[in-house]
Every structure is written in C-alpha cells, then in structure tokens.
Chains A and B, each alone.
Chain A
C-alpha cells in the first residue's frame, strides 16, 4: 500500500558558522518523508527554517552553511553526495523551484523567450526548432493571455501575477516530478493569489507532481496541501494531515498560531501569542516553545517528546491533554465608540502623477485619465476607516495626498477646519504634528543608526521644543504606551525584532499626539502572531487617546478586525463604502465580492470562489465604470456611463445594477439566468 517515497529527509541538521566561530543550528534533526504525488505544506513564522529546509531539498545551502548530520534522499540517493554537475541537471529539471518573488528572480536583462529557451535547452531533449512551440504551450499551460506577445517581453513589463506564472512555466519546462514552492503567493494581491493557487491545484491534478509548499500563510497552505508540517525554531513540531493540523491542532504553538489569524467570519481581534521566538541556535535542550507556552511543565525544560497518534505527530509532552481540550478562540473585543464629531473631510479628490511636459502642452495632448478620481470620504473623530483594494488601486496615492507628499489636482482635503490639500513643506508645525504616519516596513522607516531614544526625541523636539532631559522622560513614557520597557531607549533598531520595531514606529507616531494617523499596511511585514499583538495595541491606543485611523490593508480579515468603516477602491475610484459589517455582510459591489471571495481561510474545506480574471490594468478607463473590464456582470451601459451611487442604509455601492440584482447575483448567479427568461 505504501507509495514510494520521492524525498526523505532523515534526521537532518544544518548550521552556519556565526561570527564567534560557533556552529549555529538552523535546522535541528528534521525528519520528513514525502510520498510521490503528495503535496506537503511547510508553515511557520519568519526565521523558523522553512525556506532553508525547502532549499536544502534542492541541495542548496546558503554560503557559510553546512550539513551537520543526517541526509536528504531524493528517489533513494543522498542529494548531498551528488556532484555539482548532477545537481545542475536535477535543479530546474526533475526538481523545480518556484521562487518567492518572481519579479526579482527572473533575470531582468533577458526576454521571457530567452529564459524559457534556456530552461528547455538545459532540461529537455527537445530539438531547438521546437523550443518556440513548447514555450508557447508552457505559457498557455499557466493560463497566460497572448503568449506570443508575452515571449517578447522583459520581466519588468509583466505584472506580479504574470511574473509568477512565467516562473511556474519555467519550472514546468524541466518536467519536474518534485516542485518546491517557496512562498509563491506572498506579496501578490488576494485575487491574484487565489488565481495562482487555483492554477497550482490544477497543474498538480494534470501533471501529478509532488509539491513542497512553503508559506507563512496557513490559508494558502490549506488550499493546496495534503499534509502540513508546522515548524518552530528549526524543528518540525507538528505533522499531520491538513484537516488534523488545522482542525485539531495538538501543539500549543500551532494552536496559538491558528488563533492569531484574523478571520472574516469572526468578531473582534484575534488573540496574539505572547513572547517572541527564540534566537536561531539559542535552544540547546528542552522544548523550544516552552518559554512561551502556557501549558509548559518542568519536563518541557528537559526534553521535547515526539508523540504520534496515527499519522498525526506532535513534538509536545502535553499534546495528549491538549487534544482532549477543545480549541476555543477567545477573541478580544475592544469596543471603541466613535464620536460624531467630523475630523477628516475629503471632497471630489482627484490626483494625477502625470505632469504635462512642454512638448505635450504645445501639441495640446489630452492628459491621461487621473490616477485617483471622485474620492469623497468623511471620517469622524475616533473612527477607523480602511481603504482596501488591489495594488494599483490608489490607496497609497490617497494617503500621499493627505500627508502632503503628492499634491492633488482637484478637490478638497480638510482636517477639522484646516486645509490639508497643501504640500507638507507649507504646513505649520501644528498641522504636521496633527497628521502622523506609520509605515509598512519599520526596517526602512526607522533610521538604523539612531537609538530608539533619538528616534522618539525628534518629534518631541520638533513639535514641543522639549529639552534633552524631559525628552528622555517623555520617550520612556511613549515606550510604556506601546508596552516596551524603558531599557529599550538605548537600543538600535537592528537589535529589535520586527514587532518591537513596529511598536517603536507607533510610539514615534504618538509622540506628536496626533488626531489623525495614517497606517500604511502596518502589519503586512509582520508575522501573524505579532500582527495580532500590534492590531490589539493600535485598538487600545485608539480607545485611550481617541485618535482616528486611516488604514490601508490588503488583508480583508485584518480590516474586518480593526476598522469601523471600509472603502473599496478599484483603479483609484470608489466602488463601495460603508460600515465594515454592512459592507462585508450586506450587498456587495461585484468587485467587493471578487475580493471577499478570494480571501483564504486556514480551513481545508474553504475554497475561494474566483470571478473574472486577475488581469491587471495599467490605466483606468476613460469613461464608464472603472471596473467594467474585469466585471463579469458588465454590459453596454457600464462602458458608457458613470455608475450611480446606490444606498442600502449606510452601505453605499456605485454600480449600474440595482441592489436587488446585485444581491441575487452574489448569492446565486443561476437565479438571474432563470429570471431573465
């Protein structure tokens, strides 16, 4: 009954030599057997060693790393005993890799056809004359439109989803039997992600490939894998079927991780995991998770037992008890009462990046359609408004206009009674203080050469003119506000973890005591367990200080957890706006339903519904509805006239179809067909 093993990881440890010449283990005694044809998901948070393990399956070690013990056998033979030449034949051939960031993994100076031809030359027996034909077939196989034109392009001319598809086609060129996918959908839009996952599922069925799917996103893993291996601090701590691991997780870490994922169908904020993962190589004995574990006993400090029940293996002494305990999620409710006092008012905002050159002015060329147009938003004090939409939907552009970096072409932005449509250089200190921003990536937004104290002092000096002593005092208070101890004052950002850095960034933003805070994807660079803690912190601060958030996020579940109002944007135009519950649960604009349907949940049963395609557009259409080209329900009117606003209580939708029609189409498209007869 046993299928042959395609890949066996046997007691595999891998380490690198640290600065003090000590060998630091990145992977510790990992064992994993992969059957031919199965899809296995490797999940865990950043630094847990999942990517290292995946690359080791291709016998690729980062420079400075070495195998400490154990082996990885592919079809029975140890990969690390093969010569460089044999490995070259395997890599990209029988073992294919789909990289995390296709945009950076495709050679920028080579056209797509050259890169595909290279793969065919190296890894197939096809004669040169058939390469072109085969390349076309491969591009069709990954569902790329207009493959002929695609071949003649450079990677930068493709959208993120297209680049990922090309990377998949390139892996398929070697007709692999094992496909290693290293975070293949991270960094893509929800809809694109859903389409890529769908493609991968289909390809697996068509070609019967074995897949190793590495991701931090349990939702994406659930979509594709038969089995899931959860990794923590370089070990596999739980291994079992997709349903077992996701439904009845038996390791406290897996539980905590699953609980910290915000979900569309849950109310309130998800609970976060306390503490931080151990530093690489710092765990010498006992269970690596014990310091963070609420179930830990003394035994856990000594060793970590591997408990297996049927095919569900868990590295935990307490898993037996945990299995019996029901896995209930205690969501955190932090009700914030928004006031009715209006704070931010945006009227008919239009923004364009296009600057008419002299030549264009002479030739009287029509400027291209504005990037962002007809934006009307009202925000009360103490409220949270989330802007959602795919990349290129104008979320960040609107934020740039509010922060004064990008001048609007038309329209009004007002904060209370003050005009915000002026450039940031012309704003008074008072106004600058009042509008603060938290950025996506704290690594880039904190100066790496300043201590935390210096970082926090700058706004204090600038806005309040505090002297050195009181500055330090105030900076310590700010750290307390974001739940960091005062000894962090003298640390450098490089010495902090991702979550701690983002806390410092939040503290800096609160240093100005602002009314309005612009949050640009503040949690998307963080691990889920840390994300939950940061979201909770933001909400608590809002409760405490009554600040208003304008929140950009691509994760709709995060939006659900934190926002009061949500505005759905497509190509710089509003599609739908209203209170979160009504927008998510009420009638949907076709684009809103496309977004919501593409959301993944860490549930093996959950299947995203795809509507339309994921083609990305460069420019909004000159007339009619912005979403006309991708909308499955678009008709003649949609391409000619601007759609009207339709109100369903506070839930406002901009669409030519009326509310009843939209409700029917969302719920059961087939009913419409019947009704039309």
Chain B
C-alpha cells in the first residue's frame, strides 16, 4: 500500500520535472528571447545588451535553467516582463478565482453526473435513459463557448438574472465574485458532466448485471441499498480516471470560458501573457497548469486505491 503510494508520488515528481524541462526548452527554442519580444523594434545595440544583462539572459541556458528551477522549487516563479512584478503576486489571486470557479463546477457537476448516470443505467433503454443519454451526447458535441453564449443570452440578456461579463477586479473578495461566477460555473459543469455521466452509466449497467448484485437481490437487500452500497463503489472505479481527466481538461476549457465571461482567472491571465509575449509568465502558468493536471491524476490513482480493495490489500 505505502509502496504503491510512494511509487505514484515518485512518478508525479518525475512528470513535473519533465514538464519543467519541456517548458523551459520550448521557450528557449523559440526564435529570439524575452528581450527581443519585449523591446520589439528597439531590440538592438546596448538596449538589448542591457535588457539581457538585467535578466541574466547572457548566462548559458543550463545555468538559467538551474536558477529558474531552484526559484520554482523555492516557490518563486520569477518576474513578469510586461508588468515588472513578481509572478507569484500576479498568479495568486487569479489562481484563487479559477480554483473557486473550477471547484464549484466540479462540486455541482460530478455528483449530478453520477446521480444522472446511475438513473440512466437503472432505467436502461427506457424514456428517462434515452433523454439523459441523448442530452449528454448533445452536450458533448457543443463547444463550451456556444453553451456559454446561449446561457448568456438566456440568463443575462433575456432574464437578466446574472451579469454577462465580470466587472469586478481580480483581487476582489470571493463574496463579490459570487454573482459573476454562476454562469461560467454552470457552463463548465455542463460540459464536464457529459463524459462522466456516460462512463458511470455504462459501468453501472455492467455491475448491475454481475453475480454479486444478483446475489444481493437474493439476500433480500432492498433495491436502493444494492444500488448505492453494493454496486456504485464498483461502478465508480472506471469512472474515476475519466473524472480526473475531465477535471484536467477543464483547465483548458476554463481558458475559453473565462475569456467569454471576462472572468479574472488564470485563463484570462494566460491569454494576456501570450498576447503580451510575457514569456516568463506563460512559462509559470504552463507549469502551474501541468502541476494541477498531475495532481488530478495522482488523486485519481489514490482514490481508485481507496475504492478498490484488490489494489489496496494483498491476498
């Protein structure tokens, strides 16, 4: 058990290191560097020299990677070019905002997906199932910005319940974010639900046909106990990895959705950073997103350990 966890942790650390190397390598391989990007037409002569010296760009690449790496290890992501501020400060509040958005979406989306998936499985091929499954396939095929636009049209323009775009600043307290967060949260939840729901549905159909479920029925276990105590834990297993992948995918979706709603999160920040050629900032955000990705998968592995006694306990 402990060995397994350590193995997974080791793997996670290794993946993150590889990501660091890749991210650094890619920015290194791009033509020009931050100074040429920043200075634009003025990138020549002493200005360029000065700029490079200022940012230690005259050092060899390996040296800079080591410096950057130690910085990252100590929790210092470097300095933003454009804004000339510590990236940590820039990222912290945006990360908080995105986390609130993502977490909220997951909290609504995952349980709802599980419940609807179970319902669809139990009512297999009946109208309820067809409606749930049909809608989820439909939801899968619509890009998130379309969903977002439709939601804005209905709830902001027609009903005027929620604001269409976020107008508060990035460092506003969470309470101020709440009304702004609802529409992006629903959009995210809708998009992520479809995959999870379908996975749960098919896993649940398999498990409900298994011997131990039939046996539970013949032991006189009431129906809903069978569904939630006997069958669901087994049906969750294949769904966990899908959930993790969906959450990780959510990070990509979040960039677009934040953009649509002008939400001050990490996605919006990243778009701006790319727009501004603020390479250190892009680098930092890429690393953060990768870290979240790895973390999600790690959590998925650990929760399948928790759910599957076969993995957890030796014979």
What's the least CB distance linking A152 to chain B, in Å? 10
Q: Rank and list the top 9 A-B pairs by shortest CB-CB distance, nearest first.
A: A92-B219, A92-B220, A105-B215, A91-B220, A109-B233, A154-B309, A104-B211, A88-B220, A107-B230
Would A118 and B212 count as touching, CB distance under 8 A? no
Complex interface residues of chain A between 75 and 109 (CB less than 8 A to chain B): 84, 87-93, 97, 99, 101, 104-109
Chain A neighbourhood of B221, CB < 8 A: 88, 92, 118, 122
Q: How far is the CA of A89 from the CA of B219 in the complex (A)?
A: 9
Partner of B220, one of A101, A107, A122, A156: A122
Q: Which residue of B lies closest to A91 (CB)?
A: B220
Would B229 and A156 count as touching, CB distance under 8 A? no
Chain B neighbourhood of A109, CB < 8 A: 230, 233-234, 307-309
Q: Which residue of A lies closest to B307 (CB)?
A: A109
Q: Which residue of B lies closest to A158 (CB)?
A: B315
Q: Which residue of A lies closest to B225 (CB)?
A: A118
Would B212 and A104 count as touching, CB distance under 8 A? yes
Would A105 and B220 count as touching, CB distance under 8 A? no
Complex interface residues of chain B between 196 and 240 (CB less than 8 A to chain A): 210-212, 214-223, 225, 229-230, 233-234
Say if the beta carbon of A58 comes within 8 Å of chain B. yes
Q: How far is the CA of A261 from the CA of B198 in the complex (A)?
A: 49
1/0 per residue B38-66: CB within 8 Å of A? Answer: 00000000000000000000000000000
Partner of A91, one of B219, B229, B314: B219
Q: Which residue of B lies closest to A105 (CB)?
A: B215
Chain A residues within 8 Å of B, Cβ to Cβ: 55, 58, 60, 84, 87-93, 97, 99, 101, 104-111, 118-119, 122-123, 153-154, 156-157, 170, 174, 618
Partner of B217, one of A60, A90, A101: A60
Report the count of interface residues on B (CB-CB < 8 A).
Answer: 25
Chain B neighbourhood of A107, CB < 8 A: 212, 216, 229-230, 234
- Report 5 cross-chain contacts, Cβ distance below 8 Å, ordered by A residue: A55-B218, A84-B223, A88-B221, A91-B220, A118-B221
Say if the beta carbon of B74 comes within 8 Å of chain A. no
Chain B neighbourhood of A123, CB < 8 A: 220
Would B315 and A104 count as touching, CB distance under 8 A? no
Would A89 and B229 count as touching, CB distance under 8 A? no
**Besides A91-B220, A122-B221, A156-B309, 6 other A-B contacts (C-beta < 8 A):** A97-B215, A118-B219, A122-B220, A154-B313, A157-B315, A618-B315
Chain B neighbourhood of A618, CB < 8 A: 315
Q: Which residue of B lies closest to A94 (CB)?
A: B220
Question: Binding site of B, secondary structure by majority: helix, strand, loop or mixed?
Answer: helix
Would B308 and A99 count as touching, CB distance under 8 A? no
Task: Check A93/B217 contact, CB under 8 A, given A107-B212, A109-B233.
Answer: no
Task: Check A106/B212 contact, CB under 8 A, given A154-B313, A156-B310, A156-B315.
Answer: yes
What's the least CB distance linking A543 to chain B, in Å? 42
Chain B neighbourhood of A84, CB < 8 A: 223
Question: By CB atoms of chain A within 10 A, which of B219, B221, B309, B310 has the most?
Answer: B219
Q: How far is the CA of A627 from the CA of B315 in the complex (A)?
A: 21
Task: Check A92/B211 contact, CB under 8 A, given A109-B308, A110-B230.
Answer: no
Chain B neighbourhood of A108, CB < 8 A: 212, 234, 309-310
Would A93 and B220 count as touching, CB distance under 8 A? yes
Chain A neighbourhood of B315, CB < 8 A: 156-157, 618
Q: How far is the CA of A170 from the CA of B230 in the complex (A)?
A: 15
Would B309 and A88 count as touching, CB distance under 8 A? no
What's the least CB distance linking A586 to chain B, in Å? 37
Would B212 and A105 count as touching, CB distance under 8 A? yes
Complex interface residues of chain B between 175 and 215 (CB less than 8 A to chain A): 210-212, 214-215
Q: How far is the CA of A89 from the CA of B222 in the complex (A)?
A: 9
Would A91 and B230 count as touching, CB distance under 8 A? no
Chain A neighbourhood of B234, CB < 8 A: 107-109
Would B212 and A91 count as touching, CB distance under 8 A? no
Q: Which residue of B lies closest to A359 (CB)?
A: B3
Q: How far is the CA of A89 from the CA of B220 in the complex (A)?
A: 6
Chain B neighbourhood of A157, CB < 8 A: 309, 313-315
Q: How far is the CA of A302 from the CA of B26 in the complex (A)?
A: 86
Question: By CB atoms of chain B within 10 A, which of A109, A118, A170 has the most?
Answer: A109
Q: How far is the CA of A629 from the CA of B234 in the complex (A)?
A: 37
Chain B neighbourhood of A99, CB < 8 A: 211, 215, 218
Q: How far is the CA of A123 from the CA of B310 in the complex (A)?
A: 29
Would A104 and B220 count as touching, CB distance under 8 A? no
What's the least CB distance linking B93 to chain A, in Å? 41
What's the least CB distance linking B232 to chain A, in Å? 9
